[in-house]
Amino acid sequence: MRKILCLFISLVLLSFIPHVATADFKKTKIAVLDFQLQGEEFQTPDMGIIVAEWLITALVQEGRFDVIERRLLEKIIQEQKLIMTGVVDHKSATKLGKLLGVKVIISGSVLRLRDSLEVNARIIDVESASIIAAETVQGSSTGSLEELIGRMAKKISKDFPLEGYIVHRNGNDIVLDLGKRTGIKLGMRFIVFKEGNIIKHPKTGEILDIEKKETGLIEVTDVLDKISKAVIVEEKEPDAIQYSQMIKSDLKWIASKPEPEPVLTKGIKGRLYINTEPKNARVRILNISPKYVHGMNLDSGSYHVEVSAPGYGKKTEWITLKEGEEKTTFTQIEKSSAQKAASASVPKTVEENPQVLRMIEMLQSSDPIYKRGAAKSIYKSYRYHPEILKAVNAELLKGYKKNSNNKYYVDAMSWLCNILGDSGHAEYKDTLLEVSENAPNRKLKKYGLKNARKYE
C-alpha cells in the first residue's frame, strides 16, 4: 500500500513539471483561393487557378505550412455556394476558413499592364476576419510569373515568424528544437528571450501576455531532421542565454537579407581567393553550405560573400565566378563607430589619462569584486586602448588558474576574455586558446573558447 501511495504522489508531482523544450512543432494551417486576373489578356482564362496551384506548391516547399488540398477546398465552396476567387469579402473568407479548420486564408490578384506584371496577396486571419498582412511582388511582363509566385511564397513565410526553444548549450554552441520539417534555413537568426512574470487583467484575471526579456541573438549553422545547431552572435551579458529559453525568428534581419541567387553549375570548377583588411576578418559565403576556405573550388555562378571582424563593421557583396576561373578579390571593412570613437578619444600613453591608470590598478587588485568591476568598465569604455589590452592580457595569463571557486574572480576573468575577443587584435587568440584548454573552471574555459572563435 505504501509503495502504491508513493508511486501515486510521484506521478502527481511529475504532472506539474513543465515540458517546455519537448513541445511538438505545429505548422500553420492555411487555404489558398484562386487568384483574380486583372488588366490585359492572359495566356489562359484559368491562369488564376494556375497561380493558386503554384503558390500552394511554393508554400509547401517552404516547410512552414499545412495547406488545404484544392479538391477539399472546391468541395466546401460548392456545398456552401460561395464565390471565392481573388480579393474576397472578409466575412465569406472567415466562414470558409472555419469550415475548413484553417487559421489563415490567402486571396489575391494578378495584374498585367503593358510592360509590368504585379502579384498581390492578402493574408486574412480567420478568427478576427481582418487582413493581418498584404504582400506585393512586381516584375516584367516578359518575365516568369511562376518565379514571381516563388518570391511571394518567401514573403508570406516571413509574416509567420518561427518560434521554438533552446534545448542545449555548450559554450558558444546552441541546439534548437526546430528541424527541417519546420522550414528552418541555414543562416537564419533568432532572438532569444527569457520569460518572466505573467501579465493578467486586473478585473477578469485573464492571462494577457508573459513578460519577455531579450537575452541575445543566435544564428543557425546546421539543420538536421528534428533539431538545428546555432552559434551565439550576441549575448546581453555572460551566460544570459540558457537552456529552455524561447527563440523567435528575427524578422528585421530576414527583411534586410537579400534573396540568395541560385548557383549555376557547369563542368569545370573555379577557385576563389578573398583577401581582406583586416587580415583576420571572417569570410562567409551565405548562399552555399560549405565553410569558406581560401582558394576553395567552386562551381561557376554568383556567390553572396560576407566579410566581418570584431571591432569592425560588416560588408556583403556578390562575386561572380566563371567556369574554370581563378578569381582573387580584396575586401576592406571599416572600423565600427564604437572603435573609431574609442580610438579617437583614447590617449597614446597611460600617464596621459588618470582614469585609464586607475582602471589598470583596479584590474590588478587582489579584491575579486574590484577586479570584476574594473573588467566590466574596461569592456564598456576602454576595450580598444592598446595599453589596457596589454594589461588585460597579462592579468588573464597571470590569473586564470587561480581562485577557480570564487564567483567574482571567475566573472572577472570571463570579462577579460570578452575584452580580448572583441578587441579586434588577433594576437590575443593564443591567450584565449590557452585559457580554453587549461583553465580549471568550466565557465572560464567556455569564455576562452567562445572568444577565440571570433578570430577564426
* 17-44 per-position pLDDT tens digit: 344 333 455 678 888 888 888 876 776 7
Structural domain for 55, as ranges: 28-158
Rg value, the chain, Cα = 28
Give the CATH number of the domain where residue 242 resides: 2.40.10.410
Which of 129, 158, 187 is a domain's end point?
A: 158
Residues 431-449 pLDDT 10s: 999 999 998 888 899 999 9
pLDDT of 251 reads 64
> Residue 168 pLDDT more than 90?
yes
Write the burial class of residue 321 (CB in 10 Å: 0-12 exposed, 13-18 middle, 19+ buried): buried
Structural domain contains residue 8: no
Which of 158, 180, 214 is a domain's end point?
A: 158
Residues 136-145 pLDDT 10s: 888 776 556 7
Question: Do residues 382 and 356 lie in contact, with contact meaning Cβ atoms separated by under 8 Å?
Answer: yes
pTM of structure:
0.45
Do 52 and 146 sit in the same domain of this protein?
A: yes
pLDDT band for position 359 (50/70/90)? confident
pLDDT of 236 reads 86
Structural domain contains residue 2: no
- Looking at the 3D structure of the chain, how many domains does it have? 4
Do 42 and 96 sit in the same domain of this protein?
A: yes
Which of 289, 305, 334 is a domain's end point?
A: 334
Q: What beta strand segments (E) does 244-343 contain?
A: 246-249, 270-277, 282-285, 296-298, 301-308, 314-321, 326-332
Do 139 and 178 sit in the same domain of this protein?
A: no
* Cα–Cα distance for residue pair 48/33, rounded to 1 Å: 9
Residue 187 backbone zone (phi > 0: left; psi -120 to 50: alpha; other: beta):
left
Do 174 and 103 sit in the same domain of this protein?
A: no
Of 162-166, 207-211, 394-398, the range with the lowest mean pLDDT is 207-211
Within 10 angstroms of residue 395's Cβ, the number of other Cβ atoms is: 19
Residue 137, H or E segment? strand 130-140
Do 304 and 185 sit in the same domain of this protein?
A: no
Residues 309-335 pLDDT 10s: 877 778 888 888 888 788 888 888 877
* Cα–Cα distance for residue pair 36/46, rounded to 1 Å: 10
Do 33 and 116 sit in the same domain of this protein?
A: yes
Do 440 and 401 sit in the same domain of this protein?
A: yes
* Cα–Cα distance for residue pair 429/282, rounded to 1 Å: 14
Range picked from 111-115, 177-181, 296-300, 414-418 for highest mean pLDDT: 414-418
